[in-house]
């Protein structure tokens, strides 16, 4: 048991100015500690389980001598009678506080982390912006400021039910994105409870299946046997929207890929269009073989600009430009639907292997074939695109050319 030093008075304690630890008496192990900079604090030095512990009791003079003695007595009593280790107890309390603070992180903050990761992983800014937009519009108003650890099934229902039957496709994506955010929160230690946004065995018990309330609809596609009449009518149209749509049809490309096409991506000599990965849905570079018809179209376009098919006032054509053109031509199809027209033609009118047709559309080839395929079959795809160009430029054998063709030239800008 430590020796009890002679109790010092408050005035005597005040006069101590030497750096180090000074016994002040009254309670065994009570010290006034003076640091190098002159700051003063109270310390209780005590043995706990055979180990010496220095326990801080507060700063001096904020904690007076009398208060320090009272705290020291209380601490010694707890150690002796309750068997506690105050240092370990404080460490555990601090750890619990940090854990509680981590779990208090909001849904919005976690969602921002997930969006940033998706941008870094995929390099697809458009996809990341869609994530951000849907969550900001539908999830953040209800969940944004909530601690991610506190979100329950009722909150997910509150987000989804108002749009589940009216905007089913959007609601499905919102659910999937909320599920991804909560999954990230769980593995990051922000949330301990289950993922209440999962569908199977959870939300499927309280919400109708999306397929039953909003059957999946494919993009409207023009039957491939009508392509000759359509392309003939399209040739009568002037303007970059018409030329871009022609190029889109000839290359079976996505609208955004064609609208963003740049001269630097084109090699007329090699007859190939190389689309960089940051403009592809897959995030990977894609080589598109160009048919003779596509080369002829490009040869007729001005080359004194970066974009091949710019908008009339500069910049990239809008997503609606070609859709509006189709509407004016009274064509019941979407721009994206021409990819389906191409795919149906390849399957029904050619002997093209499935993987070549899929690669022509820049689709990922799955399964064993995809796992072992290293090249992009450019030469074989080139022959396919030449066949496609020849098909859509050749009048049907019946001679019944669709009345789509217009006798007057229309400028579509």
Same domain, 196 and 259: no
**SS3 breakdown of the chain: % helix, strand, coil, rounded to 5?**
50, 10, 35
Q: What is the pLDDT of residues 170-213, one digit of tens each?
A: 899 999 999 999 999 999 888 888 999 999 999 999 999 988 88
Instruction: Give the whole-angstrom CA distance, residue 159 versus residue 137.
Output: 10
Task: Among 60, 75, 95, give the residue marking a domain's end.
Answer: 95
**Structural domain total, the chain:** 3
Give CA separation, 308 vs 231, 261, 325, 388, in Å.
20, 6, 18, 22
Same domain, 239 and 341: yes
Beta bridge partners of 58: 42
- 51-60: strand order across its sheet: 20-23, 30-34, 40-48, 51-60
Same domain, 267 and 381: yes
Structure confidence at residue 212 (pLDDT): 82
Structure confidence at residue 131 (pLDDT): 82
Instruction: Give the whole-angstrom CA distance, residue 44 versus residue 55.
Output: 5
* CATH code, domain with 393: 1.10.443.10
Give the chain's length: 413
- Quickly count: other Cβ atoms within 10 Å of residue 269's Cβ: 7
Same domain, 301 and 395: yes
Structure confidence at residue 80 (pLDDT): 78
pLDDT beneath 50, residues of the chain: 1, 367-374, 399-411
DSSP state of 401: -
357, part of any domain: yes
Radius of gyration of the chain (CA): 36
Instruction: Give the whole-angstrom CA distance, residue 160 versus residue 166.
Output: 10
Structure tokens at 281: 């849905």
Same domain, 232 and 363: yes
Task: Among 60, 95, 130, give the residue marking a domain's end.
Answer: 95
Structure confidence at residue 276 (pLDDT): 92
Q: What is the dihedral of CA 142, 195, 209, 218, to 10 degrees?
A: 80
Burial label for 281, CB within 10 Å (0-12, 13-18, 19+), is middle
Same domain, 16 and 139: no
Cβ neighbors of 32 (< 8 A, separation 6 or more) are 13, 16, 21, 22, 24, 40, 41, 42, 43, 60
Q: At which residue do the structure tokens 């995809």 appear?
A: 370
Instruction: Give the whole-angstrom CA distance, residue 148 versus residue 103.
Output: 7
Structure confidence at residue 371 (pLDDT): 37
Same domain, 253 and 400: yes
Task: Among 180, 213, 246, give the residue marking a domain's end.
Answer: 213
């Amino acid at each position: 048991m430590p020796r009890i030093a002679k109790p010092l008075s408050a005035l005597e304690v005040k006069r101590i100015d030497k750096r180090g630890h000074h016994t002040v008496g009254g309670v065994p192990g009570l010290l006034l500690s003076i640091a190098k900079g002159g700051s003063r604090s109270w310390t209780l030095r005590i043995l706990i389980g055979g180990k010496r512990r220095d326990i801080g009791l507060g700063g001096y003079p904020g904690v007076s001598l009398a208060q320090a003695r009272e705290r020291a007595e209380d601490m010694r009593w707890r150690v002796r009678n309750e068997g506690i280790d105050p240092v370990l107890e404080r460490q555990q309390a601090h750890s619990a506080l940090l854990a509680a603070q981590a779990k208090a992180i909001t849904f919005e903050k976690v969602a921002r982390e997930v969006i940033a990761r998706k941008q870094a992983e995929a390099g697809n800014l458009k996809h990341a912006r869609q994530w951000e937009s849907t969550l900001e519009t539908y999830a953040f108003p209800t969940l944004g400021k909530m601690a991610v650890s506190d979100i329950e099934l009722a909150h997910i229902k509150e987000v989804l039910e108002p749009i589940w039957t009216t905007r089913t496709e959007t609601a499905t994506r919102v659910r999937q994105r909320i599920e991804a955010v909560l999954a990230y929160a769980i593995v990051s230690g922000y949330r301990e409870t289950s993922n209440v946004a999962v569908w199977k065995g959870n939300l499927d018990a309280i919400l109708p299946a999306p397929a039953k309330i909003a059957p999946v609809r494919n993009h409207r596609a023009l039957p491939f046997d009508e392509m000759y009449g359509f392309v003939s009518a399209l040739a009568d149209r002037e303007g970059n929207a018409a030329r871009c749509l022609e190029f889109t049809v000839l290359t079976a490309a996505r609208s955004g890929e064609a609208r963003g096409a740049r001269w630097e991506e084109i090699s007329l000599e090699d007859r190939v269009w190389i689309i960089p990965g940051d403009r592809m849905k897959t995030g990977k570079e894609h080589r598109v073989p160009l048919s003779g018809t596509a080369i002829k179209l490009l040869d007729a376009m001005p080359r004194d600009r970066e974009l091949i098919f710019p908008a009339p006032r500069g910049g990239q054509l809008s997503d609606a430009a070609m859709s509006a053109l189709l509407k004016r031509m009274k064509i019941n199809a979407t721009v994206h639907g021409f990819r389906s027209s191409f795919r149906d033609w390849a399957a029904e009118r050619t002997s093209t292997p499935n993987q070549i047709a899929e690669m022509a559309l820049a689709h990922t080839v799955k399964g064993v074939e995809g796992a072992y395929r290293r090249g992009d079959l450019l030469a074989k795809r080139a022959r396919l695109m030449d066949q496609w160009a020849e098909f859509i430029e050749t009048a049907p054998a019946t001679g019944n050319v669709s009345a789509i063709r217009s006798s007057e030239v229309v400028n579509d800008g």
